[in-house]
Structure 1
Amino acid sequence: MGFGRFVHHIGTFLLFVSFVLLIVVDITAPVVNNLSMMKVDLGRNSASADQVTFGTFGYCLRGVGGDSDECTHAKIGYDPAGLMERLDGSDFSDASGDTAKGLTRVMVLHPVATGLCFIAFLLCIFTGIVGAFLASMVSLLAFVVTLVAMICDFVTFSIIKHDVNKNGVSTAKWGPGIWLILVSAIFTLFGAGIVFVTCCCARKKDRTERQKEHWNETTATRNRRRFW
């Protein structure tokens, strides 16, 4: 195995890891109750639940009635600010509440980025020049989509986190999902860069070999002419 092929496999591996991480982000609450983008520990005086876990397509109220969970149906877009206003009286302005609600719709980009990473990974398996070039382009697109989704995630939950903690009744913390999408964006960027560089190197090597073969054939032809 050549060094270029080894480096190409590193890029392929990074894209695969990014794909797996994005799957985990996709199945945050309400799919997996305790897996969250952000979680809020409600105050001791809360009679409704012990904790709220916010995810990609909804949220879960954990510890309802002591030991049960109640989750929304998975859907595109929800109202985290309105929920916290009802649960602990957090005070959100109309602008911040509407912004957070609107940005939750952008989370539909999570599965889009997941699909793009998977396509890029499959293209990387075909290590030809065309496959590697397409893989680098698709993985770059996956990075852009992941980056946009990540920025919207941080803006959305920063609004909720700031106002909830400011209220002082509950405590909002980042969940593992928010960090997983950050790592995924980094891995996708590096994977795209590595695959693109190895594609360019392979193309240059292929061109050099063809020129060398042409030169050898030309030299052999000249030698035969001189011999005869």
Structure 2
Amino acid sequence: MARTGIFHHVGTFLLFAAAILLLITTISAPVINDIGILKVTLANRSNIRHSAVTFGTFGHCVLDVAPVNTDQDFCTKNHVGYNPANIMAGIDHTTFNSASTDSTKALTRVMILHPIACGLAFIAFLMALGAGVCGAIFAAMVSAVTWLITLVVMACDFALFGIIKNHVNRDGSGSHAYYSVGMWTTLAAMICLFFGTFVVLFTCFSSRMHRNDRRNVKAADAGYAAGPTTTRRHFWQRRSRY
């Protein structure tokens, strides 16, 4: 891929960037307390205490909890699926109807796709790193599947935490919810995968075209070097001189 090497490296870098971005979302709260997909600053926030709730892939954390002279965070254990509506109802008495509670609880199980997409993006990066034609084709295929998975989980994230965000901000409790780092890294990863897939696939077919062109040129040069060819005829096909 000599003629398309730069573009291929760009596509490979995009796949690597997508894997790192999805990793950040995967290790959000409760793995890393302050990284969340949704963050809620609580009404008791002050200059001394910065109380907040971070919702991540495998649970949530309550940051900077009482007493005031300590800096403590409370985090749940890592597990697939939790109930963010009940969590906010218990912390600041935000009201949710049963449909919102059930929907958000079910959608948290879809977030298991975050680490799956992260792993697939890294596999696509390793395949593209070899720079071979076959490797590039498989890398583009895996990247396309990863993009679809990331698109699905991102849509579920926006739906899930959009419900929580709207209820918290409209409840009048004084708490404020907003999308945090984990949401935007998922969005950025989806964009990187989209362009990375097409760049790697384009360089693959472009390299193949250049290879065929070089073969045709070599064949033509070999024909000119050998000179014109003559066909030997059998003795009965030869014309008599007399």
Q: Which TM-score band applies after superposition, normalised by the shorter structure?
A: over 0.9
2: CA distance between counterparts of 1:214 and 1:96?
A: 69
Instruction: Give the paired residue count.
Output: 223
Letter of the structure 2 residue corresponding to residue 164 of structure 1: V
Give CA-to-partner distance per residue, 1:139-172, whole Å, 9 cap, x none.
1111111111111111100000000111021111
Is 1:44 matched up with 2:44? yes
Paired with 2:136 and 2:112, the residues of 1 have a C-alpha distance of 27
Which residue does 1:132 correspond to in 2? 136
CA shift for structure 1 position 222: 4.8
**C-alpha distance in structure 2 between counterparts of 1:51 and 1:182, whole Å:** 23
Query: TM-score, normalization: structure 2?
Result: 0.87
- For structure 1, which runs of at least 5 residues remain unmatched after alignment? none
1:185 corresponds, among 190, 211, 214, to 190
SS at match of 2:118: helix
1:100 aligned residue = 104
Cα deviation, 1:42-81, whole Å, max 9, x if unaligned, reads 1129xxx921110011000112213211101011110000
Contact persistence 2:16–2:125 (CA under 8 A): yes
Superimposed CA distance per residue, residues 94-151 of structure 1 (whole angstroms, 9 cap, x where no aligned partner): 1111111111100000011101110111011111111111111111111111111111
Aligned AA for 1:159? I
What TM-score results when the alignment is normalised by the length of structure 1?
0.92
Find 1:143's aligned residue among 143, 147, 161.
147
Query: Does the Cα contact within 8 Å between 2:3 and 2:207 map onto a contact in 1?
Result: no
Distance 1:189 1:22 in 2: 14
Query: Matched residues in 2 for 1:187 and 1:199: separation?
Result: 18
State the match for 2:234 in structure 1. none
Secondary structure of 1:223's aligned partner: coil
Q: Secondary structure at the match of 1:144?
A: helix
- For 1:15, the aligned partner's letter is L
Query: Is the partner of 2:35 in helix, strand or coil?
Result: coil
In terms of fraction of residues, the more helix-rich structure is 1
Which of 200, 216, 221 in structure 2 is aligned with 1:211? 216
CA distance in 1: counterparts of 2:205 and 2:183, whole angstroms: 34
Instruction: Give the whole-Å Cα distance in 1 for the aligned partners of 2:24 and 2:134.
Output: 30
Matched residue, 1:156: 160
- For 2:222 and 2:99, how far apart are their aligned partners in 1? 73
Name the SS for the 1:35 alignment partner: coil
Which residue in the other structure is 2:63 paired with?
62
Instruction: Name the CA distance, whole Å, in 2 between partners of 1:105 and 1:4.
Output: 41
In structure 2, distance between residues paired with 1:131 and 1:209: 21
Name the CA distance, whole Å, in 2 between partners of 1:15 and 1:94: 40
Q: Could you tell me which residue of structure 1 aligns to residue 235 of structure 2?
A: none
> Does structure 1 residue 53 correspond to structure 2 residue 57?
no
C-alpha deviation, 1:225, in angstroms: 5.0
Q: Does 1:87 align with 2:91?
A: yes
Q: Name 1:10's counterpart in structure 2.
A: 10
Aligned mates of 1:95, 1:207 — CA distance in 2? 60
Q: Quote the Cα distance in structure 1 between the aligned partners of 2:149 and 2:53.
A: 27
Equivalent in the alignment of 2:127: 123
Unaligned residue ranges in structure 2 (runs of 5+)? 232-242
